[in-house]
């Protein structure tokens, strides 16, 4: 794709996947973005990646959000406009951009990226449907999910594919919010497994209490376990409180 003189030329094979990843992540560090591009075989050399990101920032396709520990990017208006004509789920971009101002969105995005990358590194990830794609399906089609999940994930283990809704919960909601979510999830007919991932034991205990006795196949696990082999990950079943291997329930 080319632009008038004075504008940069956009590569469908490298620039578009990079912009798409920033869009889907909402916020993403420089190092995380490079690893996504490397694991996807879009950009293997760090200096080429650095040059590509720098020109996209300078041309207004990416915004720089932070310089505290690492450069952090989000999609800029020009990048969003470009993706709106190349990505079918970008019709809900405006609502996503409004949610960027919500408290906790920044850290939530960066930590969710780490869960995504962990599955990619292990070679078990078949497909990651990000929240923006889930939301687009829910708002624009008659065959959506009951909830805007953080991601719908498909993994392949021992030659078998399994899909589940992934919710990364870094801070607690109100019990009334979980009661509403529980009612929605118990009516979900497009997914057979729901996994809440949390950073600590106290939050796990709180969520398990909120979902105790649910009829939905809902499990709670720890974010730290995603850094370990997926086949060894342990989760707790919300309906019974029993701790088991995730591999046994997918």
Q: What is the pLDDT of residues 178-235, one digit of tens each?
A: 999 999 999 999 999 999 999 999 999 999 999 999 999 999 999 999 888 888 899 9
Taken in order of first residue, the domains within the chain and their CATH numbers are 1-87 (1.10.10.10), 103-250 (3.40.91)
Task: Please determine, for residue 138, whether its predicted confidence score (pLDDT) is greater than 70.
Answer: yes
Give the confidence band of 7 by pLDDT, cuts at 50, 70, 90.
low
Residues 165-186 as b or e (16 or more Cβ within 10 Å = b): bbbbbeeeeeeeebeebbeebe
pTM of the model: 0.90
- What beta strand segments (E) does the chain contain? 28-29, 62-66, 72-75, 125-130, 151-157, 160-168, 194-198, 218-222, 234-237, 243-245
């Amino acid at each position: 794709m080319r632009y008038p003189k004075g504008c940069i030329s956009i590569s469908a094979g490298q620039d578009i996947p990079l912009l798409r990843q920033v869009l889907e992540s909402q916020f993403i560090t420089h190092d995380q973005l490079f690893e996504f591009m490397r694991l996807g075989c879009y950009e293997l050399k760090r200096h080429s990646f650095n040059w590509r990101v720098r020109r996209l920032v300078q041309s207004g396709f990416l915004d720089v959000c932070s310089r505290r520990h690492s450069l952090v990017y989000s999609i800029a208006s020009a990048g969003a406009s470009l993706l709106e004509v190349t990505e079918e789920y970008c019709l809900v971009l405006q609502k996503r951009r409004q949610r960027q101002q919500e408290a906790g969105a920044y850290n939530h995005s960066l930590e969710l990226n780490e869960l995504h990358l962990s599955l990619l590194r292990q070679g078990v990830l078949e497909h990651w449907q990000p929240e923006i794609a889930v939301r687009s399906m829910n708002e624009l089609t008659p065959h959506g999910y009951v909830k805007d999940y953080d991601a719908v994930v498909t993994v392949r283990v021992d030659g078998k594919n399994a899909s589940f809704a992934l919710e990364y919960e870094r801070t607690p909601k109100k019990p009334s919010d979980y009661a509403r979510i529980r009612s929605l999830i118990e009516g979900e007919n497009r997914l057979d497994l729901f996994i809440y991932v949390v950073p600590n034991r106290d939050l796990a205990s709180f969520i398990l209490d909120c979902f105790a006795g649910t009829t939905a196949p809902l499990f709670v696990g720890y974010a730290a376990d995603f850094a370990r082999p997926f086949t060894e990950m342990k989760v707790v079943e919300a309906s019974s409180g029993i701790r088991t291997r995730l591999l046994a329930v997918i």
